[in-house]
Structures are given as structure tokens and as C-alpha cells.
Chain A
Amino acid sequence: MSGPRVGVVTFPGSLDDRDALRAIGSMGGQGVALWHAERDLRDVDAIILPGGFSYGDYLRCGAIARFAPIMEEIVRFADAGGPVVGICNGFQILCEAGLLPGALIRNRSLRFICRVVDVRVETSLSPLTDGLVAGEVLQIPVKHGEGQFVAGAEDLARVEGDGLVVFRYCAPDGTVDDAHNVNGAANAIAGVRNDSGNVVGLMPHPEHAVDPDVGPTGGQPLLASLLSRALARV
């Protein structure tokens, strides 16, 4: 196998880890399974924290996983500029670990929602959106009970002011409005990045949007971007 090595961490309760590995493989990368209890990053060039319900999400989503041994290594990897992507539960873990601003709370409807939604790319400055144009609209599914992005007023102003918003929920034509804000997120935010632009978290599942036989393909350009970022580090 060739292609950049992308690590996918399995925590107890991770669910979309196999899907992420498969998606990376189908896009020409090497998916590398990483185990929460180990500290070995197996020489990967990028890391995905996948969706699921790590530790059952019994305390608070992502609150326990952030203490897993491998997370210390991931923080170090991120601090050194390594590309890190958190999807759904992985996004929650990155927020809990302080690598990303904000937090994710229960959906406005108080219900789990599984639905293909439209998301608008807000910046090309993230490991998932290299080479994409702000304003581009992608179809990607969401599936979560706790995906409503929130942040304190100051934090939210900073997130917006510093251009840290990477994705917003929108209408098919790119209009951001309340009707298409699937979970009631602040400013319809679907994904954010860190200041240095190497860590990104999002609620939509790009790994479930690469195979035209089972759904939309809005995840393809995002994972292609991640692979090129990873390749740049090889």
C-alpha cells in the first residue's frame, strides 16, 4: 500500500472508525487503526477521531475519551502542526480536550437526527478544505443527538472574527437560514478549526459521503484535502 498514512483512533464505543478507515482507503490513502490505550501513533501523517459514543458518552460527550493515553500523543502531534480531524464524537472530544473552541450540546429538537444536509465551506484554511472555495456547498449526512455548537459570547465573537468557522449548515443554494440549521447551532456552525489551522472538528460525516453507491459524495473533496495535507508531511 502507498499513499499518506491516516490514523483513525478507536476508543471503546467508537462506531464510525471502520467507515473512516474504509473511506481513507477508497480515496487512495492508507488507513491506520490506532488504539486508545496505546501511545504509539504508528508514524501517521494525519489523524482522524471518528464518530461514535466513546465510553457511552455517559458523563458528557467526549469528556472521558480526552483522558485516553493516546490523546496526550495526539495533543503533541497537533501542537507540532500535524493535521487532526474530529468527526462528530471526535469533534466533541477535541472540544473537551481544549484543542478546539466551543462545545456541543443536545440538538434543539432534543432528538437524534440522521439526515443528509447541505453544508457551506467558509474557509480554505483547514486540513479538510485546502483547495476548496469559500461558498462551495457540499451534501454530507449528519447523525447525532448532541451536535448543537455553542460558545460563550466572547468565544463566539472570536471564532467568527478570526475566521475559525469552517462549515455552516445551509440551504441547497448556500443560503444560511434557521430552517436549514439542522440542530440549532450558534450561527449555524457545523465545523470549526483552531488558530493555527491544523485541527478541525465537524458534526457532518465526510466518511459517509464518499461512495456514490450509498449516498452523496460531498465528503470526497474534504478527505482529498486531508490526504494532500498529510502527503505534504511525508
Chain B
Amino acid sequence: MTEPLHRALGLTDDEYDRIVETLGREPNRNELAMYGVMWSEHCSYKSSKVYLRTLPTEGSRVLVGPGQDAGVVDVGDGLAVAFKMESHSHPSAIEPYQGAATGIGGIVRDIISMGARPIALMDPLYFGPLTQERNRWLLEGVVAGIGGYGNCIGVPTVGGEVRFAEPHSLNPTINVMCVGIAPADRLVTSSRRVHENSIMVLFGASTGRDGIGGVSVLASRTLEEGSEESRPSVQIGDPFAGKLLIEASLELAERDLLEGLQDLGGAGFTCATSESAARARMGAELNLDVVPLREPNLEVFEILTSESQERMLAIVEPSKVDEVLAVCAKWGLATAVLGRMVAGDGLRITMGGQVVAEVPARSLADEGPVYERAVAEPEGLAALHEDDPTFATVTADPREAFLAVLGSPNVASMRSVWEQYDYLVQGGTVLGPGGDAALVRIEGTMKTIALSTDAKGRFGSLDPYLGAAHAVAEAARNVAMTGATPLAITNCLNFGNPERPEVMWQFAESIRGMGDACRALDTPVTGGNVSFYNESGHSAIWPTPTIGMLGLLEDHRLAVRTAFPPARSVYLLGETSPELGGSEFAETVLGKVSGRPPALDLDRERALHRLVAEAAREDLLSSAHDCGDGGLAVALAESAIAGGTGFAFSLPGDVPWYVTLFSESASRAVVSITPENAAAFEALAAEHGVPCTRIGETGGPRMVFDTLFEVGVAEATAVHEGTIPKLLAG
């Protein structure tokens, strides 16, 4: 017996009944294909919506919150920053180069859809261990794809992170964030008035058979054996066309020729037209005969759902259509006048004189199913919590443990990855990859935006609430370390199959943690993306809510860097507790991913950020670096490596060395200060209620850990820089 068409398209029987009810008739196969993609998990957020609603989304600086192509934040002086994060994990698992490349293309189009010029990209990536050949192939392909597209469109890739864990072997997690800038009054948002009879103009690449059903076949199902057969659902990128699309779109926005602008990404034509109509509270009449096709004889449903890249849809007042077509022609882009906006709610699509689909636009875009799926705490968590590495017997040699942690793939330098990205183009990169956060100056101003992307998968695997809250805190802390003030987040929520109650519990807990942290740190959620079904068999990825934090530094000359200069006093800010649960030390040295993640006091966290921001404004800091993976030892070593100078560090006597060095207690940082500024800084720390301990001084060619051990800066650098190239060489 053959499977009914709606099931092959990813719709359940209940969902099919609902479509029949909406239309008052059976849908034809084109309409069914449209519902199939729009009601997919990827497009409809049907499993996540009830939770996403609980997130804090408002703030005095938020100009555009969730629900549009990107969130937008006011950075003052009439300037707006648009930013958004997305995943392209499933396509990348199947075809890493094109999967990653088209991920860049898609997120960049989201930013230009707001009328903003893309000025930065960040790529947080999570793979399985590089000891496996397939994971090396995935990493090499993904990185080459990011470079291949990003470098070619002239948007600098200024940071990101790369982490490794076995649960990401079958399902790598490929996220990308794009950030853009626009004068606030020139933003192309859905608050623009769209008029009846306004014209829909399609511009950019022609439509082909690539990426059919990308959102439903790939993004909304788990990847199983033989998933290579899904390769035709992976889109193919053309960065040159992408670059022309950026310039043409921005020229249209700058010349104020647009009522609306939308990219054709997931669910292609169907999504762009139905969302444009639904947002305008209107219907639309469209003629597919004019769509430029890559090959003859595309079926109607293929045109409607193709995810061919580098296409945009503009909504244009009739008197401005000629000018719009001329701008596109200047940039060598094909155009097609598709149709017009009409009163009502109907999306009526014709081809060859026949109506091929006629459905209510809002039923596709806004009125998809919403599920409150079952949740259940996974079994075995309690046992993991019991096995707390903080109380394990540690027999390791301290020096060997230090070098093992410093050289572990999750701590090691990713230079060999980020040197494949152009992080300089556009000339605004004040701090590129490798620091706590990237800093990008806004052209023609002193204002500098600070960017960090963070996930805490290991913590999340043990406690998804704390994992998500720590991810927000760490992202904000990274931004704060540069002297910037954290403003708002976007996110990409990467999880397994939401139909499994354990996964849904992880999701619910993560959202709760993210919401609490964002409220406490006053960094509202401006949007994001949910990526479910990242599992194969019953092996899901770690719950990985990736946070993309945006911060602002009013003057780039105040930027604080990671590197130690010589002859400075070193201070530890914050308090260290015996918290080795979920730590890098526990995994690398003890072979354990267990225990509970460190506690997180969000008031302390915020006090630390404020202290560093104020100290930066008063120019008291010679360097600042947060304590994250690998704890205090790694923070000290990274500052020393970046500065090419050693330090002498005195350990407190009454605490085991591995707690002092490797505990991952939250809300801590290492700063260095000139002797002249020490008193002023100590007073400032006291004022902010941040514990501040002088732990040593910088200088010399060696890192001296009290009487415990010493490591030359050169040796530590070789270990830190050498790990990834060595692993990639196989």
C-alpha cells in the first residue's frame, strides 16, 4: 500500500483534516505541498511556540522583536542593528560545504530583508570528536563552505566557537549569526504600510529543482541511515549572486523604493508570498508563468516549494516598479513581476491561465498547528548528578592535567579554522576571532558592537535549565569583558526529536533557564530559530541552545583585550567554589561528564559585567578575560599566550589545587591592572560588591603556578595552537 501524499509531505492525518476544514474541500496537490512546508516544524514552530511565548522580548532598545526576518536593536544616534541566528545542521550533515554555504546565504538574506547592510558573521559549530574521520570531513567541509560563501560576499566572519562532543557525531550542529546595520528610519519592517494593488517583484536567481522540501524532508525529520539520498533537498549556493543581491537590495532600501522585502529561504516562494500577504493583512494574486526557471517542465508544486538560493521578493508601489526593475538590471539580476496585493486573505496562484492553488494566506503563515507535547525528565539524570566529579579521587599530575586541559579540543585555539575566514573586509574589525567577544566598529562612528555566540552543551546535558542560563550568562560575560554593555540576544535552539517527551523536557527547561537569565541580565530575546530532530535512532544531540549576544561599546578606543601586558597585577574577580560538575577538567582528566553544573547567581553575574564596563570607561584595565571552560588555569594561560608574557600565580593554601585551577564556578574573570590603578580598581570592585583577589603578577617567559609547576609560554602556546591542526591531519 502506498503512503498517502500528505504523510509523504510530513503532515499528520489530523493536520490533513484541519486543512480540509480550512478550505472546505480537499486540497489539491499544490496546496497540500504548500501546507506541507509551511506547517513543518521548521516553519511553523508548532512544538516550540507555547514555550517561546514565555521569553522576555521587550526592552527599551528593542525596535523589532521576534516574528520578523531579524530582531533589531536601537544603538543610539539613529542607528539600528539587526541580528539573527539560524541553523543549517541537517543540510550540512549530508553535504557539508553546500549546507554551510547556503546557511550563510540564508541568514544574510534575513538581514538584508530588514534593509540592513550585513557587517558581521559569527559561526558557532558543534561536531563529534575529530578522532573520527567523518567528523574531520564534516568540519573541513563546513569551514570551507562558510569561507567559500562568506569570504566571497564581503561580510567578515569575526568569531564563533567550535566544540566537540560525541552526541554531535551523527548530527553536527551548524549555527550562523549575521549582524547588520541600518539607519533606524530606513528599516524595512512589517510596520511599513503595504497597499492594495502593490506589486510583488521577484528578483535574483532563477528557480530550479534544488532544495525541494528542505524544511520538511530535511529540517523536520531525524536523519537516519541512507540520509545521503536526501542530497537533492540540499540547496546549492552561488555567493556571487548573493553579493549582487545584497547590493541591489540595499540600493532599493536606500532609495526608499520598498513597501516590503522578504527573502526566499525555507519553503521558498510559498513562505515569502504567504508571509508577506499575512503580515499586510491582505491577500495576493500571483502568476507563476513569469517565474524565471532553470529548466523547463518544473511542476507547479516544485516552483512553489523550491528553495533555490539567492532570490528575494519585493513589495513595491506600482509607480516605483520601473525604478525597482532598473536597479535590479544594474546589478545584473533577473526580475519577474509576479502579481499584486489584493483585499481579503486569499492567496490565489495561477499558471497557464489555470488557478493552481487558492488558500487563505494566514492559514499558511500564522494559523498552523500548535502542540503542547508531552514532557518527561530523562531517566538516569539523578545517577549522573550523584556521580559528582568534585568529590572524585584525583591522582593526576597537576602539570600534565593543565596541559591536557589547555590542549583539549574544546579549549584549544581554533586559529586554523578562523584563518580560513576573511575577518577584515569592511575595515571595522576592532577585535577579530580568538578573543572573548568580537568587536566591530560602525562605520563613521566611534560606536562598536560586541558579539559573542555561546552554548554550554556539557552543562545542558546534565541540567538543561542551568545549561541555557549559563549560556546566556557566559555570552553576556564575554561581551562585558571587552568593556561593552550586553543589550539583547538572538538564539538558535538545537534539540532532538520533540515528539519524545525527554527531548521536550530538555527544551522546556532550556527555555525556562534562558528566560530567567535574560530577564535578570536585561537582555531581551529579539528572535531566533528552533532546530529540532537533531538525532538519529535514539541518539539525540546534547540540548544546545546557542545564544547570540549583542553588546554595545560607545567608543572603540575603550576596548579591553584578553592579552596580558608585562608588569601588571593579576586579579581574580568573583568567587571559586568546588564545582567540577560538567567541567572540562572532569571530562578530559577524569573522563567524566557528570555531576551538576556550577550554580549561577545572576545578580552577581550582572555586578561583574557592570564593574568591568565601568572600569573600562575609567581606563583602569590592562586586560580582562572571563573564566569559562577549563576555569581559572585556562583563563590565565590564554591571557598569557595572547600577550606573549608569563605570570606568577600564588595558590590559596587551603583548597585542593584542582579546584582552584579547574573549577568552573560562574561569574568570574581574570583582569590585569597597572600598580598605579590597583587601589582605584579595588575600590570600584568593592563598590560593585564583586569579590576581588590579587592572585599574582605578569611578566617573564614562564607561567608559574606557585610551587606546583611551571610551563613556558612558548610550550603552552604550542599545545594550545597545535591541537586542532594535529587532529585534522588525522
Contact = CB atoms under 8 A, between A and B. Distances in A.
A214 interface: yes
Contacts of A18: 426-427
Given A52-B154, A114-B420, A145-B151, A211 B427 contact: yes
A42 interface: no
Contacts of A145: 147, 151
A214 B147 contact: no
Nearest to B420: A112
Interface string A196-234: 000000000101100101110000000000000000000
Shortest beta-carbon contacts, A-B, top 7 = A56-B240, A15-B154, A19-B427, A53-B152, A143-B422, A112-B147, A112-B420
Nearest to B433: A114
A214 B430 contact: yes
Contacts of A213: 430, 441, 556-557
B665 interface: no
A14 to B, nearest CB: 8
Given A53-B152, A53-B240, A115-B419, A215 B557 contact: no
B331 A19 contact: no
B239 interface: yes
Contacts of A158: none
A214 B239 contact: no
A56 B420 contact: no
Contacts of A141: 424
Given A53-B240, A55-B240, A114-B420, A12 B331 contact: yes
A111 B420 contact: yes
A215 B423 CA distance: 12
Interface in B410-424: 418-424
A211 B446 CA distance: 13
Contacts of B331: 12
A180 interface: no
B332 A12 contact: yes
Interface string B547-578: 00000000011000000000000000000000
Given A53-B152, A112-B151, A114-B422, A214 B240 contact: no
Interface string B320-334: 000000000001100
Nearest to B559: A213
A152 to B, nearest CB: 29
A141 B424 CA distance: 9
A205 B151 CA distance: 15
Interface in A51-90: 52-53, 55-58
Contacts of A53: 151-152, 239-240, 243
Contacts of B241: 56
A12 B426 contact: no
Interface of B: 144, 147-148, 151-154, 238-241, 243-244, 331-332, 418-430, 441, 443, 556-557
Given A145-B151, A213-B557, A214-B429, A205 B424 contact: yes
Of B147, B419, B427, the most chain A CB neighbours within 10 A belong to: B427
Contacts of A108: none
Contact of B423 (A52, A114, A207): A114
Interface in A95-115: 111-115
A12 B425 contact: no
Contact of A112 (B422, B424, B425): B422
Contacts of A22: 427, 443
A143 B240 contact: no
Given A112-B151, A145-B151, A214 B420 contact: no
Given A15-B425, A111-B419, A208-B424, 17 more contacts: A13-B243, A15-B153, A15-B154, A53-B152, A53-B239, A53-B240, A111-B144, A113-B420, A114-B418, A114-B424, A115-B419, A143-B151, A208-B427, A211-B427, A213-B441, A214-B428, A214-B441
Contacts of B429: 214-215
Contacts, number: 85
A19 B426 contact: yes
A114 B419 contact: yes
A73 B144 CA distance: 37
B654 to A, nearest CB: 45
A125 B336 CA distance: 53
A96 B626 CA distance: 49
A113 B419 contact: yes
Interface string A116-157: 000000000000000000000000010101000000000000
A148 B332 CA distance: 31
B154 to A, nearest CB: 3
Contacts of B423: 114
Contacts of B424: 114, 141, 143, 205, 208, 214-215
A22 B444 CA distance: 10
A57 B240 CA distance: 8
B240 A12 contact: yes
A94 to B, nearest CB: 20
Contacts of A55: 240
A16 B425 contact: yes
Contact of B425 (A23, A115, A143, A215): A143
Contacts of B151: 53, 112, 143, 145
B579 to A, nearest CB: 38
A100 B148 CA distance: 27
A13 B248 CA distance: 12
Nearest to A18: B426
B706 to A, nearest CB: 34
A26 to B, nearest CB: 10
Nearest to A209: B424
Contacts of A13: 152, 240, 243-244
Nearest to B241: A56
B426 A114 contact: no
B441 A56 contact: no
Contacts of A57: 152, 240
Contacts of B422: 112, 114, 143
Interface in A29-60: 52-53, 55-58
Contact of A214 (B152, B243, B421, B427): B427
Scoring B153, B154, B426 by chain A CB atoms within 10 A of each residue's CB, the highest score goes to B154
B606 to A, nearest CB: 29
A56 B418 CA distance: 22
Contacts of B443: 22
B244 A12 contact: yes
A215 B432 CA distance: 10
Contacts of B419: 111, 113-115
A56 B238 contact: yes
Contacts of B148: 112
B556 A56 contact: no
Contacts of B425: 15-16, 19, 143, 208
A113 B443 CA distance: 25
